[in-house]
């Protein structure tokens, strides 16, 4: 991690450049081997590319997943007071309680695939400001959250799985997507019901409020995002510098990934879109960041469940590739 300067975003921009590329030769050798296996019958199908990707970032022709880490980032966003109509701190606390020790499938899935499971409280009791009225975070707050998220790599995992259960984070993610790619607010913040209507209005208003900041990805992050989304940006960047492959989960996780992609189009080469949720516009966001989802479980949440499920699939595919 670099020492923060008077302009903290300068450090982040530097981190997003000159990124390690992994062992491209190893990845290509594994891809070629799998393509030619069994007379070209593609015994692993679409998983061949995922195994070759894993080989590239682990630097071995016999990749494996021995120490995966499932990380769920949780924060609170003041905009949710209007879109959801609930106290955002209490809502964030409830999310934390559910994920950490309540009813959350992601925790059981992580345990089943022998993954370390971590929940990161990204300032639940200090909500990001209402993006409709002012930037969600100051530059220093945003850079600090990115730096905090970078500490994820200290766990020495061989794969990192990102999930998000922030309170109001879907609205923040829609604001980020609208800020990065334009289009109608309803395209990025759509859905059914009154909550969706309020979310669309919030994104429309926030876009007008921050219309002069839409040419800079990090300014978009701080204006629309919160500490939980900024933390995931940090985790993605740090994993890249450590050569650790990352599995992306739902819409909000991919909004964080989109910030990295906007800073450097090659910045997500170490990331794989584990699956596509039923969250509105998740598929559109994946297209914008150049990621084809590996699987589609029909899940409607982005808390890491689908990506955690994919660990088992990738682990089995990697084991199968050793026999080909």
Confidence class of residue 106 from pLDDT cuts 50, 70 and 90? very high
Which pLDDT score is estimated for 86? 87
pLDDT > 90 in the chain, percent = 87
Q: Is 100 exposed, middle or buried, given 0-12, 13-18 or 19+ CB atoms closer than 10 A?
A: middle
Which pLDDT score is estimated for 6? 64
d(CA 310, CA 245): 13
Of residues 142 and 323, which shows the higher confidence score?
Answer: 142
Mean pLDDT of 238-247: 97
pTM score, whole prediction? 0.96
Mean pLDDT of 308-324: 95
Nearest to 221 by CA among 179, 185, 268, 249: 179
The CATH code of the domain at 66-313 is 3.40.50.10210
d(CA 123, CA 287): 31
Tens digit of each residue's pLDDT (9 = 90 or more) over 1-30 = 445 456 889 999 999 999 999 999 999 999
Tokens representing 125? Answer: 């009791």
Which pLDDT score is estimated for 2? 44
Which pLDDT score is estimated for 1? 45
What does the mean pLDDT of the chain come to? Answer: 94
At 250 the three-state DSSP class reads coil
Q: Which residue shows structure tokens 């993605």?
A: 236
């Amino acid at each position: 991690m670099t020492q923060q300067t008077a302009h903290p975003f300068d450090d982040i921009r530097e981190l997003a450049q000159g990124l390690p590329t992994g062992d491209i030769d190893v990845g290509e050798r594994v891809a070629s081997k799998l393509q030619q296996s069994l007379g070209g019958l593609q015994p692993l199908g679409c998983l061949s590319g995922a195994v070759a990707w894993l080989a590239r970032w682990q630097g071995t022709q016999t990749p494996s997943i021995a120490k995966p880490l499932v990380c769920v980032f949780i924060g609170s966003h003041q905009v949710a007071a209007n879109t959801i109509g609930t106290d955002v701190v209490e809502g964030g606390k409830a999310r934390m309680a559910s994920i950490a020790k309540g009813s959350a499938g992601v925790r059981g899935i992580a345990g089943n695939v022998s993954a370390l499971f971590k929940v990161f409280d990204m300032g639940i009791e200090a909500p990001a400001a209402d993006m409709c009225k002012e930037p969600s975070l100051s530059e220093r707050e945003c850079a600090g959250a990115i730096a905090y998220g970078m500490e994820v790599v200290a766990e020495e995992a061989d794969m990192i799985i990102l999930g998000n259960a922030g309170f109001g984070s879907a609205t923040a993610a829609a604001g980020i997507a609208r800020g990065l790619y334009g289009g109608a607010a309803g395209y990025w913040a759509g859905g059914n019901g009154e909550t969706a209507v309020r979310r669309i209005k919030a994104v429309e208003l926030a876009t007008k409020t921050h219309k002069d900041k839409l040419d800079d990805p990090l300014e978009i992050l701080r204006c629309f995002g919160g500490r939980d989304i900024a933390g995931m940006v940090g985790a993605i960047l740090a994993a890249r510098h450590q050569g650790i492959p990352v599995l992306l989960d739902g819409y909000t996780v991919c909004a964080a990934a989109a910030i990295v992609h906007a800073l450097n189009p090659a910045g997500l080469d170490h990331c794989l879109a584990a699956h596509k949720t039923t969250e509105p516009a998740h598929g559109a966001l994946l297209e914008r960041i150049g990621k084809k989802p590996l699987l589609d479980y029909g899940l409607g949440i982005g808390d890491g469940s689908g990506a955690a499920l994919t660990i088992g699939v990738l682990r089995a595919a990697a084991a199968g590739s050793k026999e080909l």
